[in-house]
Copies of this chain bind each other. A is one copy, B any other.
Amino acid sequence: GEPSGPVVRTKVPGPQSIAMQKELSQLQNSKAVQFFADYEKSVGNYIADVDGNVMLDTYMQISSIPLGYNHPDLMKVTQGREYQALSINRPALGNMPPRDFVERLHNALSVVAPKGLKHVQTMACGSCSNENAYKVIFIWYNSKIRKGKAFTEEELQQCLVNKGPACPDLSMMSFKGGFHGRTFGCLATTHTKAVHKRDVPSMDWPVASFPQYKYPLEQNVDHNAKEDVRCLQEVQSLFDAYQKKGRPVAGVVVEPIQAEGGDNHGSPRFFQELQRIVKKNGAALLIDEVQTGMGATGTIWAHEQLGLDSPPDIVTFSKKMMTGGYFYTDEMHLDEPYRIFNTWLGDPTKIMLLEETVKVIKRDNLLEVVKDSADALEEGLLDIQNSFPKLISNSRGRGTFRAFDLPTTESRDKFINEIRNAGVQMGGSGTHSVRLRPALIFQRHHAEQFLDIATSVLKKF
């Protein structure tokens, strides 16, 4: 069973972790290592490290573990012959899918498909999900432009060397503070930290401002509404400017909550208007739910809470879904084979784990658990904010997908470090925010444990 609370044996990283990190640094850059974990000993919401420490984990492998550590139902899946066969005989899913592939896609993915997006393509991670979703959008957009007119043989030869009208100057619009991955297409739409981007060539794609709200929302209605208008006007201006410079915008990619760039939220109204502008300009709207998807916001998909007029065109996922991929509408369906393809197209063992996860979420009413813990977190963090007004501000979030700010990067980093040494694993977001990304089994009493420890850390801060 789960431990009743953290066990603090050493500072983190402890001596074992430090020794291992030193060894690892002989093989690769190991400077981002926080500690070495013992995944066999970790249970539920608690992660064990190699120095005997046990931490309440509110970060869960960068938001990617849906049911906590060593969930017994998932463990059982790995003990079945089929899981084991698919582990060692990894199929090329596009060419030779396994016999129950369709059934598993239904049970794991169709059952959680966002409304209106009945098609699904699996991928292996968030980056290839976004990269391929961008390609779908470009192909769809350019096919519309040429109205089905085929390319000449010469044009096809040119596109093989990145040239000519078959290799069009199109662009994907994204937002300041957005994060969509670190491969070249994704990176051109990622704008969170210079360390991700400097020294790496990129593409001339438009980048719009994302609303920067003041909190609490109720007291800043005017300012925040103006922010929406300012950003939406910028979106339209960029559509115009890039049309004019011959790099039309084929699609707009946006997170429902900017989940790396500081947990920045947009209002439902912002997203509704954004979708209208995108439609008006003949482009596609891609909602990147790689981090927000799979329940932590209180609904399976965060964008369900945005009140959009109609479904977005594509929704990408990964992390807590364990398999990457994207859902898409009829209109985004590409008819030719091999437009979207790679060797593995994901991993059927991850689809099997997702299938079981979806069952557990339903059986154990985990969305209700999320809502209950979210209430405790929201209330408790407001209390903390009131108790430590110079240290903690801007508590915000949907479900347990929450964040709050410290005054500076330094104080934020110090807080994460001190609370880790007090037995709670957390993550940073943007320049000076702390994010909570607990598993869906994070309950009210875990929330209370976190709040208690946070309070005692802040008292000594």
Contact = CB atoms under 8 A, between A and B. Distances in A.
Interface of A: 20, 23-24, 26-29, 31-40, 42, 47, 50, 61-62, 64-65, 69-71, 74-75, 77-79, 81-92, 94-99, 101-102, 105-106, 110, 118-121, 124-128, 131-132, 134-135, 138-139, 141-143, 151, 155-157, 159-162, 166-171, 176, 181-186, 188, 191-205, 207, 318-319, 322, 333-344, 349, 353
A98 B39 contact: yes
Nearest to A290: B343
Contacts of A336: 29, 31, 195
B84 A167 contact: no
Contacts of A37: 91, 96-99
Contacts of A36: 96-99, 101
Contact of A33 (B94, B118, B159): B94
Contacts of A181: 342
A76 to B, nearest CB: 10
A86 B49 CA distance: 14
A57 to B, nearest CB: 9
Number of copies of this chain that the complex holds? 2
B27 A119 contact: yes
Contacts of A97: 20, 24, 33, 36-37
20 contacts: A26-B118, A31-B336, A31-B337, A39-B86, A40-B85, A61-B96, A62-B92, A64-B90, A65-B90, A70-B89, A78-B83, A127-B128, A128-B128, A132-B182, A156-B198, A160-B191, A167-B197, A183-B185, A184-B184, A184-B188
A65 B192 CA distance: 38
B81 A40 contact: yes
A167 B34 contact: no
A73 B152 CA distance: 52
A161 B191 contact: yes
Nearest 3 Cβ contacts at the A-B interface: A184-B185, A31-B337, A142-B199
Contact of A118 (B27, B118, B125): B27
B92 A64 contact: yes
A343 B126 contact: yes
Given A37-B98, A135-B200, A333 B29 contact: yes
